[in-house]
Amino acid sequence: MDNSHFDLLVVGFGKGGKTLAATLGRLGRRVAMVEQSAEMYGGTCINIGCVPTKSLVHHAENRPEGKAAGEHHRQAIEATRALTTRLRDVNFAMLDTIDTVTVITGRATFLDPKTVRITAGDDVLDVSADTIVINTGALPVIPDVPGLKDSAHVLTSTDLIAIDHLPERLVILGGGYVGAEFASMYAQFGSAVTVLDAAPRIVAREDADVAEAVAGILGGAGVEFVLESKVVQVRDVAGGIEVEYERGGVTQTVAADKILVATGRRVATEGLGLEQAGVRTTASGAVEVDEYLRSSQPHIFAIGDVNGGPQFTYISLDDGRIVGDQLIGDGKRSTADRRFVPYTVFVSPALSRVGITEREARERGLDITVYQKAVANIAVMPRPKIVGETRGMMKFVVDRTTDQVLGAALLSIDSQELINTVALAMRHQVTASELRDAIYTHPSSTEAFNEVLQAASAR
């Protein structure tokens, strides 16, 4: 048996890749999983993404009365680090305990369409495979601002969740979803947070009223916003860093201990040698794929962030299912099957959304009814009052003729769970009236649908 040849080679230990590798390994296929760092077994989500950030959100929201901010933050970092270490070990064992799966730690570079060279220090190993899956994810983008890349005080989200000292003053570049989430988190930890963004409002892809509600909640937590501003330079100074920005034709500065850059992520394809494999990429560098996630080489697939699709762990998982269906199923499943994929931004309380916004519906000329209510005013929903979190709003966009839910924005306690019910209803054409008249457990957040979707709240 050729020990350097595999049925399946997966490059990158992310959600979709590891699940696919385990599935085929249990079927007896020879599988190699290549990951460039032992600190990333399990992928972005459990190590530097969803799990650690949501762990820190939980700790930030639950600071014991009387505990010093710095000490609470340090303990939260330690607890989160312990959690990710346990999960990383579990993820490694998930593959390592399968006899036909081999985990290889090192950097992968294509030599040709079927051969990959793996390097770790001076060690070099060439392996080949019948099927190859690229699952290398994405990396934070550092904008080309003078002084930014060379500063000792500039952090990405990966860096920030690794330091165990709480910045007294934190400037966040970017008011999108990542920026809003970290602003909420660190304001609750006790940092003085300032958000700089060129847009006229934060989370700018949301409806204006939803964005304003998020801004109001963050502002109430102490976050300061400097919007419609352009960062022109940063410079390290004694005790920290200064950020120079232009706003309304006036140049101003803000001082900080640390800067978090939250201006987007780029696909991680650099150094993979895709040209040697004959794999085409898009203008943004993403691996070009069809609806079955095949690249320009039919035996090479790309799943997760690296194919340029939505950057969510659950999309990576579904990508893995699509490829699995090509390899061991009937080959019919594709990205075209996806409808009404929800997402959540873990500000406090969380913002969750699915479908189209009111703005998008009106731009399309759709005849809609909008149902909207502040969480504090939803009488049939006592759970927010029970847990002491009454901030936020709920909003539904409904087709006036068909009564189908076209979209929803839920800024509320438990919204990350509620949105899945709404998305499922939308996929199966459950009407807004059916959601309104359903029987829900009590006291639960789902009960809000009984009241929010009433005609009295519509416009």
Cα distance between residue 422 and residue 399, in whole Å: 15
The answer to whether residue 442 is catalytic is: yes
Counting residues of the chain whose pLDDT is more than 90, the rounded percentage is 98
Q: Determine the distance from the C-alpha atom of residue 446 to the mean position of all C-alpha atoms in its chain, rounded to a whole number.
A: 24
Q: List, for residues 234-249, the tens digit of each pLDDT value.
A: 999 998 999 999 999 9
Residue 2: predicted pLDDT: 63
Counting residues of the chain whose pLDDT is more than 70, the rounded percentage is 99
What's the CATH architecture for 5-139+266-337? 3-Layer(bba) Sandwich (3.50)
Q: List, for residues 31-43, the tens digit of each pLDDT value.
A: 999 999 999 999 9
Annotated active-site residue in 59, 72, 73, 442: 442
Q: List, for residues 149-159, the tens digit of each pLDDT value.
A: 999 999 999 99
Residue 456: predicted pLDDT: 67
Mean pLDDT of 276-303: 97
Looking only at the bridges linking them, the beta strands covering 192-196 and 258-261 are: unpaired
Map residue 343 onto helix, strand or coil. strand
What's the CATH architecture for 343-457? 2-Layer Sandwich (3.30)
Please report the beta strands in 278-360, taking only residues with DSSP state E, as ranges in sequence order: 300-302, 343-345, 351-355
Residue 315: predicted pLDDT: 95
13 or 456, which is more confident: 13
Please report the beta strands in 12-137, taking only residues with DSSP state E, as ranges in sequence order: 31-35, 101-105, 107-112, 115-120, 123-134
Mean pLDDT of 44-62: 94
Q: Where are the domains of the chain?
A: 5-139+266-337, 154-263, 343-457
Mean pLDDT of 217-235: 97
Predicted confidence (pLDDT) at residue 104 exceeds the cutoff of 60: yes
Q: Which residues contact 16 (CB under 8 A, 6 or more apart)?
A: 135, 303, 304, 316, 317, 318, 319, 320, 321, 323
Predicted confidence (pLDDT) at residue 455 exceeds the cutoff of 90: no
Cα distance between residue 381 and residue 269, in whole Å: 47
Mean pLDDT of 422-431: 98
Residue 31: predicted pLDDT: 98
Structural tokens at position 68: 């010093």
| Mean pLDDT rounded to a whole number for the chain | 96
Predicted confidence (pLDDT) at residue 1 exceeds the cutoff of 60: no
Mean pLDDT of 214-231: 97
Q: List, for residues 184-207, the tens digit of each pLDDT value.
A: 999 999 999 999 999 999 999 999
Q: Which of 46-60, 189-203, 233-247, 444-458 has the lowest mean pLDDT?
A: 444-458
CA neighbours closer than 13 Å in the CB half-sphere of residue 190: 19
Mean pLDDT of 315-328: 96
Instruction: Give the Cβ contact number of residue 199 at 10 Å.
Output: 15
Residue 146's pLDDT band, with cuts at 50, 70 and 90, is very high
Mean pLDDT of 69-96: 96
5-139+266-337 and 343-457 have identical folds: no
Q: Tell me which CATH code domain 154-263 carries.
A: 3.50.50.60
- Predicted structure pTM score: 0.94
Mean pLDDT of 410-424: 98
The burial class, CB within 10 Å (0-12 / 13-18 / 19+), for 160 is buried
Mean pLDDT of 382-410: 97
